[in-house]
Structures are given as structure tokens and as C-alpha cells.
Amino acid sequence: MNAMILIALIVGGTALLSWPLGRYMKWAMDPDVSQGLAAKCEQLFRFIGGRFVGEQQNPKQYLVSMLVFNVIMFVVSFGVMALQQHLPLNPDGQTAVEGSLIFNTAASFTCNTNLQHYSGESTFSYFTQLCALMWLQFVSAATGIAALTAMARALAGRKNMGNFVLDLQRGVFLVLLPLAIMVATLMVLGGMPMTLAGAAHATTLEGIEQTIARGPVAAFLTIKQLGTNGGGFFGPNCTHPFENPTFWTNALAMISIILIPMACVWMFGRIIGRMRHAAIVFGVMLAFLLVKSAGAVWFEQAPTQAFAGLPIEQNVGNLEGKELRFGAPEGSGPLWSVLTTSTSNGSVGAMHDSLNPLTGLTPMIGMWLNATFGGVGVGMINMFIYIVLAVFVAGMMVGRTPEYLSRRIEAREVKLAVIALFAHAFFILGGTAIFAATPWGQDTLNNTGAHGFSEMLYEFSSASANNGSGFEGLGDNTVPWNVATGIVMLLARFIPIILPLAIAGSLAAKNTTARSSGTLGVEDGTFGVMLVATIVFIGALTFFPVAALGPIAEHLQFMK
């Protein structure tokens, strides 16, 4: 009961907080008037970025700027990781890292995924964690916010999308940094480590030597949550007591995971000047989030099946892979798993591999849809794809002109939208099929049968959704996994940014049509229902077969 109140408070409270933040983000990302504080910031950003910042970019130029900066992000982080053994701030003497793992990690953090085929505490120095990974957690998240801002500007009918270098600075310095400073301070006060000292060496009460890894955790953790990055400082992410020491840090982390993705919807609404439309989209996203949360918490109440028949109490839910300090772990663990995969965060508060089979399906659903809030900026961009299709399908069904924000949706827009959706499905289904059929996948499983299949399916879902969580039993630090998921992450990051921005640019170039009785509204409940139906049908038709082979098969086989 108390757990349900907590869920309502966290999701509901964050939804309320997202409203003022969305307003602020509109001010920060797309200021109306160039005077006062906004103008001062602008001056500073022009100083930092140089004269280039003053240029207005069309969609193509904006995308090129974004890609150039992202290539540099990749190169810089790759360099830092490759040279870490020669760089400072390495108190625990971390050594050189294998090439394919560096490629995977650089790709993963550049594209805001934070899929990790390593354990931070035994692989990377503090220098790498801060200058490569934490840095990318700021700038990759800001890339997403900038992309959404640009898309919204185009949909608002502006011919120019703004300037990427300016938008990125706004995202980093005005949105992410102030929030990160506030939340990280609270995390430190909540008991999280923040030190540059190397591991502590203890002799336990029973006389055993124990090495206790620590580090600048609070700073890293905070931006990983706020920016829907999700990469853990330590291997087991937020189940590690240092990365999540108390009930309160756990609650604050969950709020941080969904806060900016929620606020992005309001920012989008404000830029296009259609708040009622934004409210409908927000409502649709929230409905998916709540249904998945309720489902996951419900399925996790079944006790650990492996303990059936042993003299073990069966009156609590499944506790394998969960932490007691979060309170009602069989509730907070699955809630976190839904929040982290509804957004493209990917941090974990319980081990997803050890969730009950149908609970484990809910995070996968989150990643397959990838638009029920989604990653910072990009979640709303993904939702735009579904909106385009919903408008188109609804228009076809009732014989009305498919229009979005007074502009006609035609063959070109629909084609691009379908390619974006198809790419996501292709990466997940194709990747899983190849690895399930070859030793690349088969030899790396930690579980047998249907659950083993789920491990591979989850890994590709996570890579393609730019999520980063995993069924971590999978022995994924192999060259085939590193290369394959690295490529999938990069393609699945940039295709769903480039295509929607192209759609938005193509819409912006069209003449507006006057509203008539034949116009299909996007600001009422009917549209909301149509959007839900589009998401459910596309998602179910694409992914039900693999769900049946993995989690559903396991549930039917084992759960009583």
C-alpha cells in the first residue's frame, strides 16, 4: 500500500515538476527576446563558440553541425580511453583497454546509450570516467535537447532551425548543469561518495581482506540520471550501495530519470505554440508509463520460482537482484525498470536479468516503443514519428486530409517515418536473429532456454533504443557483441534524429493550409486514442513474436 503511494508520488510529483521546468527550458533553449539575462547568456555563448554561432542554419546545416560535433565527441572519448594508462587520476592503476571495448564504449556514450560491456570500478580510471564518460553524458544529452528544439522550430513554421553550437551550449549550461549541481549536492548530502581517493583496503571483522572501490560517484551519477544516460560508475549500476545508498537517493534518482524527458514535451508544446496538443501527447505517454509500472510491480509480487518447495518463506515477491534499503524492493525495483526503459535512461535499480519473466518483458516493451517520454529530446522526436503515422492513418480512415500543425503530411513524410520505425525493428529483430543462430550469441549466455533468448533480445533492444540497460548475465564483452551493438547504437541514434528533422524541415517548407471542417484535430481525446492505437498496433505487430519466444515462453513454461 505504502509502495503504491510512493509510486503515485514519484510519477505524479515529477509530472507536476516537469511543467515549470518545461517553461524554463523553453526560455533557455528558445528565448523569445534578446534582452535581459537571455541576451547576456547569448553573448557569452557567442564568445565561446565564435562567430559561427551567429549563423542561422537550415535543417541540413544544423544536422551537419550536429554530426561534426558528435564525431569529435567520439574521437576525444576514444582517445582518452585508449590512453588512460598514461593519464593522471588513476589511483587504482587501471590498465590498457581492449580496442573493440573502447569502440563500443565510445559509441555507447556518444549516442546517449551508455550500454556498458565493462565494470567501471575494474576497467576505467577516474580520469576516463570523468573526462570521457561523464563529459559525454552532458554533451550527448544536450545534443538530444538541441535536436528537439530544432525540430520544434521547424514545426512552428520557421525556415531556419537555429544554430546547433548555440543550442548545445544552452542545453549544457542552462538546462543540464544547474540541475546537475542541485541534484548532485542532494546526492552527496544523502550519503553518496564523492572522492578522488583510490580504493580503500579493509580487514573485516572475520579477518578477510576486502578492497572497497570508490570514487567521484555523486557527480557522475547525477548527470547520468538527468541526461537519460544511465551508465553506472560501478558495474551493477544503481544497485551498488555507493551509487544508491538510501531510500531517499533512490527516490531522487527515479525523479531525475523522468524529469527532463517529461519537461521536453512541454518545451516542445511551447515552441510550436500548441500546449493542448502537448498535453494530449503527455497524457498518452503518461498512460503507457502507468500501465507498464502497474504491470511490472504486479508481476514481481510472485515469489522467486526457484525457491518453490524449499523451506523458504514464500510470502514476499521476487527478491533476487534487489536491494532492501529502497523499501518494498519487489515494488521499487520493477518501477525503476519501467522508468529507466520508458525513458532511454538504462540505469538499473534491480537486476533486470533476475526479474520474473513477465516483469522482464515490461522494460523490453519500453525500449521497443521508445517514445513514452523517451530519452531527453529524442523521446519526443520518436513520438513525432508515431504522430505522423497516426495522423496519416487517421486521415486515411475517415477520409480527411492528413495534416499536422496546418501542414499536409504526404508520401515523402510518411516514407521517412516508416523508414525510421523500420530501422528500429530491423536492428532488434535482425541482430537477435543473427546472434541467436550463431556462436556469437549462443556462447555468451548466462541462462538457458527462453531466458537465454531474452538476454540476446534485450541486448539488441537496449542498443537500438539507445537505452543501455541489460540482462547483464550476458557475457557481452566479446568482439562480435562490441562491434555489432556499437554499430547498432550509432545507426539507431542518428537515423531517428536525421529522418524526423528531415520530415520537419520538409513540412516547414510547405504552405500552411487553412483550418476547415475537414481538418483532423490533434488537440482532442480522439487524437489521443488514435495515437495510443497506432503505438500499440505497430509495437505489437512488430514485436509480439519475439516476446512470445522469450519472456512469454519462459513464463508459460515455469511460472505456476
Dihedral sign (CA 369, 456, 144, 154) = negative
CB burial readout 134-154, b (16+ within 10 A) else e: bbbbbbbbbbbbbbbbbbbbb
Q: 114, 108 in Cβ contact below 8 A?
A: yes
Q: Is 182 in the site for other proteins (CB under 8 A)?
A: no
Residue 201: strand pairing partners: 211
* Strand-pair partners of 85: none
> Residue 291 CA to chain centroid, in angstroms?
19
Secondary structure, 3-state, 387-443: HHHHHHHHHHHHCCECEECCEECCHHHHHHHHHHHHHHHHHHHHHHHHHHHCHHHHC
* Closest CB 476 distance from other proteins, rounded Å: 11
What is the grid cell recorded at 179? 540541475
Pick from 24, 27, 298, 307 the residue near other proteins by CB under 8 A: 307
CA distance 20 to 87: 42
- Pick from 314, 438, 512, 513: which binds other proteins (CB under 8 A)? 314
43 binds other proteins (CB under 8 A): no
| Identity of residue 236 | P
Check residue 88 for interaction with other proteins (CB under 8 A): no
Is there binding between residue 210 and other proteins (CB under 8 A)? yes
Of 33, 208, 411, 514, which one interacts with other proteins (CB under 8 A)? 208
442 is a site residue for other proteins (CB under 8 A):
no
Binding-site string for other proteins from residue 444 to residue 463, where x marks contact by CB under 8 A and - marks none? --xxx--x------------
Pseudo-torsion of CA 260, 262, 265, 271, nearest 10°? -40
Nearer to other proteins, 148 or 223 (CB): 223
What is the smallest separation between the CB atom of 402 and other proteins, expressed in angstroms? Answer: 35
From the list 145-153, 409-417, 488-496, 550-558, the region that binds other proteins by CB under 8 A is 550-558
Task: For the segment 100-159, give every residue that binds other proteins (CB under 8 A).
Answer: 119, 121-122, 130-131, 134-135, 138-139
- In this chain, which stretch among 30-38, 194-202, 387-395, 402-410 interacts with other proteins, using CB under 8 A? 194-202
Asked if 184 interacts with other proteins (CB under 8 A), we say yes
Q: Which of 192, 278, 429, 457 binds other proteins (CB under 8 A)?
A: 192
Closer to other proteins at the Cβ: 39 or 48? 48
Q: Are strands 209-212 and 403-404 parallel, antiparallel or unpaired?
A: unpaired
Q: Which region among 110-118, 325-333, 385-393, 528-536 touches other proteins (by CB under 8 A)?
A: 325-333
Are 187 and 252 contacting, i.e. CB atoms less than 8 angstroms apart?
Answer: yes
Residue number, 69 or 426, with CB nearest to other proteins = 69
- The site map against other proteins for 240-279 (x = CB under 8 A) is xxx--xxxx--x----------------------------
434 in Cβ contact with 440 (< 8 Å)? yes
User: Is 175 one of the binding residues for other proteins (CB under 8 A)?
Assistant: no
Q: Are 246 and 190 in contact (CB under 8 A)?
A: yes
205 binds other proteins (CB under 8 A): yes
- Whole-number minimum distance, CB 165 to other proteins, in Å? 5
Instruction: List the one residue from 64, 83, 437, 536 that touches other proteins (CB under 8 A).
Output: 64
Closest CA to 466 of 323, 296, 261, 290: 261
| N residues, the chain | 560
Single residue of 289, 351, 378, 456 touching other proteins by CB under 8 A = 351
What is the footprint of other proteins within residues 214-243 (CB under 8 A)? 214, 216, 218-219, 222-223, 234-236, 239-242
Site for other proteins contains 311 (CB under 8 A): yes
Q: Which of 204, 511, 516, 517 binds other proteins (CB under 8 A)?
A: 204
Supply the DSSP symbol for 502. H
Which member of 37, 39, 72, 398 binds other proteins (CB under 8 A)?
A: 72
Cell output for 205: 571483522
User: Pick from 354, 461, 467, 469: which binds other proteins (CB under 8 A)?
Assistant: 354
* Sequence-ordered list of residues with C-beta below 8 angstroms from that of 474, at least 6 positions apart, any chain: 353, 444, 445, 446, 455, 456, 458, 459, 481
Quote the CA–CA distance of 254 and 251 in Å, as a whole number. Answer: 5
11 binds other proteins (CB under 8 A): no
Q: Which amino acid is at 202?
A: A
CB of 370 to other proteins, least distance (A): 24
65 binds other proteins (CB under 8 A): yes
Residue 175 DSSP code? I
Minimum distance from CB of 26 to other proteins (Å)? 22
Size, binding site for other proteins by CB under 8 A: 122
CA distance 431 to 143: 26
Least Å distance, CB 215 to other proteins, is 9
Which residues in the 470-489 window bind other proteins by CB under 8 A? Answer: 471-473
List all residues 6 or more positions away from 73 whose beta carbon is below 8 Å from its beta carbon. 110, 136, 139, 140
Rounded CA separation 504/519 (Å): 19
Question: Does position 497 bind other proteins by CB under 8 A?
Answer: no
Residue 213 in the binding site for other proteins (CB under 8 A)? yes
C-alpha cell at 35: 534582452
**CB 73 to other proteins: min, Å:** 8
**Cα distances (angstroms) measured from residue 116 to each of 80, 84, 120, 349:** 17, 17, 9, 15
Minimum distance from CB of 208 to other proteins (Å)?
Answer: 6
Applying CB under 8 A, among 32, 33, 36, 203 the residue interacting with other proteins is 203
Site for other proteins in 404-433 (CB under 8 A): none
The reply on whether position 539 binds other proteins by CB under 8 A is: no
* Rounded Cα–Cα distance for residues 503 and 385 (Å): 9
Does 350 contact other proteins by CB under 8 A?
yes
Task: For the CB of residue 342, give the shortest distance to other proteins in the complex, in Å.
Answer: 20
